[in-house]
C-alpha cells in the first residue's frame, strides 16, 4: 500500500454513491467499513428510473455536465465488469431518448455545440415509425440516440455482491449512524446503533438524510428530501423500443418488457408513502404517452426521496474545519447518472491522484451554513 494512503475509511450510506465509493476504495486495497441504517441500495438508488442522463441536460450547468458525460462513457464498462465479477447483469440498456413538445427546444438544440453528444431534431413521422406505441397528438421531437438506462435494483445487487467478495470491505446493514466521533480536531469515526466505528477518514453519502447527520455538528447542508413516485407496467419485450419523455413525465423500457413511468416531484419531508393522487396522475401520463397502457396492469407503485440540492450540484470533498470528514451527497435527480464520476472524483481526492475533472465546483467550501 502506498505511503500516506488511508488504511481505514468509514462510509455512511449504502446507496449508489456509498457502494460505488466503497468499490473504488476497496479495489485499491483500502480497508473500508460501510454503514447503512437499512439494507444497502434500498432508498433512492433503488427507487429511481435509471436513465443515464439528466432528464434535460441542457438545463444544467457545466459542473453537472462534466460528471454526467464521464459517467455516461463509463457505464457500459461498469455494467460489464460487475456482470463478469458477480454474475448479476445491471442491464445497461442503450435505447436512446425522444423528447416531445419541449418548451425550450431551441435551447436543447443549441446545447450539443459545446458538449460531446449527439442530439438532433427529428420529424414526427420518424418518431411514430420508430415508436409505434406512442400516443397521437405530439407535434415535435428531438432525439439523443446514445442514451442508456441501467436497471438500478440489479446494479445495487451487483455492487453489494462485488463488495461482499472483497476481504478488505465490511458491510454493516441495519446499523444507524447517530453522530460523528471527533478527537484532536479530526473526525475519526461514527457512533452507530451497534457501537463505535473508528476510521481515519469518514465519507458521508447518506443521500436525503445527509443534512440531518451534518446538523449534529452544527453545520447546515442545503440538501432536503424531494419525494418522487413511480409506477411499473409489464408489457411485451418489444412494446417500447426507446425511452420517451413529454410534459415532465417519462417512459423507460427494460429488456424484459417492464415499463417504468415517472415521476412526481413533491416536498413532503421524509414521508415515502405512495399516494392515490400520484397513482392517478402517473396513470394519466402513461396513457397519454402510450395509450395501450390503459389496458395494462400496474404491477408496482412506489416512492423514493431524492437529495435535493441547489442547482443539482453535488457536494464532493472534505468539509472545511472538520478534517477527516468528506462529503459525497446532494445529487438531487441525478444520483445514478453522476455516481460513477462522483465516486471516482472522491477517490482521486482522498487518495491523492489527479482528479478526473476540476473538483472546485463540488467543494463544500463556502457552500455550507
- Residues 320-362 have pLDDT tens digits of 999 999 999 999 999 999 999 999 999 999 999 999 999 999 9
Q: What is the mean pLDDT of the chain?
A: 95
Sign of CA dihedral 92, 96, 99, 105: positive
Strands 186-192 and 177-183: antiparallel
Q: Are 70 and 357 in contact (CB under 8 A)?
A: yes
Say how far apart CA 303 and CA 46 lie, in whole Å: 10
Q: How many residues does the chain have?
A: 369
pLDDT of residue 205: 98
Average pLDDT over residues 229-233: 98
pLDDT of residue 151: 97
Q: Are 212 and 348 in contact (CB under 8 A)?
A: no
Say how far apart CA 320 and CA 341 lie, in whole Å: 22
Closest by alpha carbon to 82, among 171, 152, 34? 152
Topology classification of domain 97-145+224-308: D-Amino Acid Oxidase; Chain A, domain 2 (3.30.9)
pTM of the model: 0.95
Instruction: Calculate the alpha carbon distances from 12 to 22, 29, 176, 266, 335 in Å.
Output: 10, 19, 9, 25, 16
Distance, first Cα to last Cα, the chain: 37
- Residues 26-38 have pLDDT tens digits of 999 999 999 999 9
DSSP characters over 204-219: E--GGGHHHHHGGGT-
pLDDT of residue 113: 86
- At residue 1 the predicted structure's pLDDT band, cuts being 50, 70 and 90, is very low
pLDDT of residue 336: 97
pLDDT of residue 117: 84
Q: Are 333 and 284 in contact (CB under 8 A)?
A: no
Sign of CA dihedral 74, 79, 83, 86: positive
- At residue 7 the predicted structure's pLDDT band, cuts being 50, 70 and 90, is low
Average pLDDT over residues 132-151: 96
- Residues 178-219 have pLDDT tens digits of 999 999 999 999 999 999 999 999 999 999 999 999 999 999
pLDDT of residue 114: 78
CATH classification code of 8-49+154-222+311-362:
3.50.50.60
Closest by alpha carbon to 162, among 316, 70, 25, 51? 25
- Residues 236-275 have pLDDT tens digits of 999 999 999 999 999 999 999 999 999 999 999 999 999 9
Average pLDDT over residues 48-75: 96
Domain pair 8-49+154-222+311-362 / 97-145+224-308, same fold: no
In this predicted structure, the answer to whether residue 45 has a pLDDT above a threshold of 80 is: yes
Q: Are 91 and 75 in contact (CB under 8 A)?
A: no
Closest by alpha carbon to 223, among 304, 311, 156, 152? 311
In this predicted structure, the answer to whether residue 144 has a pLDDT above a threshold of 90 is: yes
In this predicted structure, the answer to whether residue 44 has a pLDDT above a threshold of 80 is: yes
Q: Are 8 and 198 in contact (CB under 8 A)?
A: yes
Per domain, the residue ranges of the chain are 8-49+154-222+311-362, 97-145+224-308
In this predicted structure, the answer to whether residue 226 has a pLDDT above a threshold of 50 is: yes
Say how far apart CA 303 and CA 42 lie, in whole Å: 11
pLDDT of residue 369: 79
Average pLDDT over residues 171-183: 96
pLDDT of residue 3: 41
Amino acid at each position: 500500500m502506498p505511503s500516506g494512503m488511508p488504511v481505514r475509511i468509514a462510509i455512511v450510506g449504502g446507496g449508489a454513491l456509498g457502494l460505488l465509493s466503497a468499490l473504488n476504495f476497496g479495489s485499491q486495497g483500502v480497508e473500508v467499513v460501510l454503514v447503512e441504517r437499512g439494507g444497502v441500495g434500498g432508498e433512492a438508488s433503488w427507487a429511481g428510473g435509471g436513465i443515464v442522463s439528466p432528464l434535460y441536460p441542457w438545463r444544467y450547468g457545466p459542473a453537472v455536465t462534466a460528471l454526467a458525460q464521464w459517467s455516461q462513457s463509463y457505464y457500459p464498462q461498469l455494467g460489464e465488469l460487475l456482470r463478469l465479477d458477480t454474475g448479476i447483469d445491471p442491464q445497461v440498456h442503450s435505447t436512446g431518448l425522444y423528447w416531445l413538445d419541449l418548451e425550450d427546444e431551441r435551447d436543447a438544440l443549441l446545447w450539443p455545440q459545446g458538449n460531446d453528444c449527439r442530439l438532433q431534431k427529428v420529424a414526427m413521422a420518424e418518431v411514430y415509425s420508430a415508436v409505434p406505441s406512442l400516443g397521437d397528438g405530439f407535434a415535435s421531437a428531438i432525439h439523443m440516440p446514445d442514451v442508456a438506462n441501467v436497471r438500478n435494483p440489479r446494479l445495487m445487487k451487483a455492487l453489494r455482491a462485488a463488495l461482499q467478495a472483497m476481504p478488505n470491505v465490511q458491510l454493516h446493514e441495519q446499523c444507524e449512524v447517530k453522530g460523528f466521533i471527533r478527537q484532536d480536531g479530526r473526525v475519526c469515526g461514527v457512533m452507530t446503533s451497534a457501537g463505535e466505528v473508528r476510521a481515519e477518514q469518514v465519507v458521508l453519502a447518506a443521500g436525503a438524510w445527509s443534512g440531518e447527520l451534518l446538523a449534529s455538528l452544527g453545520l447546515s447542508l442545503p440538501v432536503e428530501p424531494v419525494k418522487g413516485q413511480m409506477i411499473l407496467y409489464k408489457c411485451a419485450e418489444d412494446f417500447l423500443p426507446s425511452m420517451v419523455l413529454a410534459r415532465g413525465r417519462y417512459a423507460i423500457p427494460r429488456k424484459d418488457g417492464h415499463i417504468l413511468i415517472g415521476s412526481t416531484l413533491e416536498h413532503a419531508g421524509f414521508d415515502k408513502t405512495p399516494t392515490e393522487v400520484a397513482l392517478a396522475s402517473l396513470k394519466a401520463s402513461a396513457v397519454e404517452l402510450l395509450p395501450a397502457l390503459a389496458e395494462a396492469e400496474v404491477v408496482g407503485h412506489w416512492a423514493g426521496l431524492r437529495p435535493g440540492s441547489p442547482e443539482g450540484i453535488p457536494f464532493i470533498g472534505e468539509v472545511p474545519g472538520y478534517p477527516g470528514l468528506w462529503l459525497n451527497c446532494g445529487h438531487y435527480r441525478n444520483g445514478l447518472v453522476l455516481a460513477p464520476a462522483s465516486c471516482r472524483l472522491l477517490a482521486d481526492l482522498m487518495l491523492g491522484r489527479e482528479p478526473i475533472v476540476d473538483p472546485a465546483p463540488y467543494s463544500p467550501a463556502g457552500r455550507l451554513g
